[in-house]
Amino acid sequence: MSNEKNFSRRRFLQFTGLTLVGAAHAAPAVATEQAASSVGATPPAFARLLRTASLPQPKGARVVIVGGGWSGLTLAKYLKRHNPAFDVLLIDRHPSFVSFPLSNSWLADQINLDFLSHSFFDAADNHDYHFLQATVLGFDRESRKVYTDVGHIAYEYLVLAPGIDYDYARIGVEDAEQQELLFQHYPGGFVSASELLTIKHKIQTFKGGTFVLNVPNGDYRCTAAPYERACMMAAVFKKRRVHAKILLLDMNTGIKIKKDGFHRAFDELYKDYIEYLPSSEISGIDLDAKAVTTEFDEYPFDDAIIYPPIRASRLIDEAGIANPKSPQRAANTDPFRYHVVGDEHVYVTGDSRGQPFSKGGHTAHSEGKYVAEVIAGHALGKDIAWRSPQTMCFSSVEIDPLQAMSIITYYKFNEQTNVFDFDRTHMIEDWDLQGGQASLAWAEGMFRDLFYR
């Protein structure tokens, strides 16, 4: 069906449309034939899609990993460790890695960007796999091929770890142009490093007035991060003596995690800076008037960071492997073994996963080690017993020096309700210097594991 000869114009247009999604940003989807035509479906581009990507001949069964985030990087390293015969290829559309964890501390000048930035080439070199900078446009499970903007690649196993996309329609912004404008001017800072740079510039240059932040509803990325960001921003405004009010519009009924710790930080450290408003479901944003609308109120703002509810990367849905029952269009996978239902050669991990584990880098890392064993085991005909991922998350609330609180938790499957529950949770809500130091030591250890020997 899907060999080169049968690669139809319709599929080409589909793929070209996907290129637009990947290349622009991970926000609104514009994957339509019309979009593809508007940029010109030229023969050279067609040819590029049809050729085999230039890569060294694989020396063993090739495992292709889509996405060099916390999940994909872990898989790449540990697949090679558990089965050195694998030829592992990690693909990311970006040339280098920038960490989201600890980025809120960087926003408040507690660490520099070098601490968060690492090279994919170092990771690949040190852990004996290949890295390819390319955008994945789609894949064909029948012929086991991944299509990228630099050609296609055959795989024996495919791991999809492309992370998340924003879902602006869930805050009432449905028009693609409005979504684009909202993303550009008021980025949420939860999908790409460029958003973080824009946000830092906003914080450093804000002259005063009302700054709107929000906490999305649903199962969003890093439960504590929006509250942590409010604290870090307030700390900067306090230090700069800016007359700023951060309106923190929480689309949930209350603080979702480390509740006592964050309430105490808002009250004791940032009373004059943070106004916390729970149950504030955003239903629209007027970009011209600079106002956010909720069911009961309208909030004018001078500047804003809008973190819309999220969904699994559109790559999952567009490949036809999303679970139709999942509100976030997460992948339809075996909850214990992570493969797509009915296909033990395609796996989905990290924040695109279907299981309701906390969307965190540490979760993705511990889960990635397990899934690497599962895939290596599958190739060797060996069964690996399920083990829970571990979630560990630090939240900084005070600066100069950094002070943080933390949580560690595991998960267990509840046979009665058929869902995963928290298991063995250990939470420290009294922030202190040790917490701040521990957050830095944790991140340094993770970067060392993923990038260096």
Ligand X SMILES: Cc1cc2nc3c(=O)[nH]c(=O)nc-3n(C[C@H](O)[C@H](O)[C@H](O)COP(=O)(O)OP(=O)(O)OC[C@H]3O[C@@H](n4cnc5c(N)ncnc54)[C@H](O)[C@@H]3O)c2cc1C
- Per the CB < 8 A criterion, the answer to whether 244 and 211 are in contact is yes
Helix axes 70-82, 361-379, angle to 10 degrees: 30
How many C-beta atoms lie closer than 10 Å to residue 312's C-beta?
28
> In angstroms, rounded to a whole number, what is the distance separating the alpha carbons of residues 268 and 248?
16
When the beta carbons of 173 and 225 are compared against ligand X, the nearer one is: 225
SS3 215: strand
> Which residue in 447, 346, 433 sits closest to 397, CA to CA?
433
78 binds ligand X, rule: CB under 6 A: no
In whole angstroms, how close is the CB of 47 to ligand X at the nearest point? 20
Binding to ligand X (CB under 6 A): which residues in 6-35? 22
> In angstroms, rounded to a whole number, what is the distance separating the alpha carbons of residues 325 and 266?
37
The stretch near ligand X (CB under 6 A) out of 28-36, 46-54, 158-166, 172-180 is 158-166
450 binds ligand X, rule: CB under 6 A: no
Q: Which of 58, 162, 309, 436 binds ligand X (CB under 6 A)?
A: 162
When the beta carbons of 201 and 243 are compared against ligand X, the nearer one is: 201
> Which residue in 158, 135, 133 sits closest to 145, CA to CA?
158
> In angstroms, rounded to a whole number, what is the distance separating the alpha carbons of residues 428 and 407?
6
110 binds ligand X, rule: CB under 6 A: no
Q: Which of 77, 80, 93, 202 binds ligand X (CB under 6 A)?
A: 93
> In angstroms, rounded to a whole number, what is the distance separating the alpha carbons of residues 165 and 309?
9
Bridge partners for 26 per DSSP: none
Binding mask 288-327 for ligand X (x = CB under 6 A): -------------------------x-x------------
89 binds ligand X, rule: CB under 6 A: no
In whole angstroms, how close is the CB of 298 to ligand X at the nearest point? 27
Q: Which of 244, 269, 393, 407 binds ligand X (CB under 6 A)?
A: 393
SS3 140: strand
When the beta carbons of 67 and 308 are compared against ligand X, the nearer one is: 67
When the beta carbons of 279 and 425 are compared against ligand X, the nearer one is: 425
Alpha helix (H) ranges present in 89-160? 103-107, 113-116, 120-126
Site for ligand X, rule CB under 6 A: 22, 66-72, 91-94, 100-101, 103-104, 135-136, 161-163, 189-190, 221-222, 225, 313, 315, 350-351, 359-362, 364, 393-394
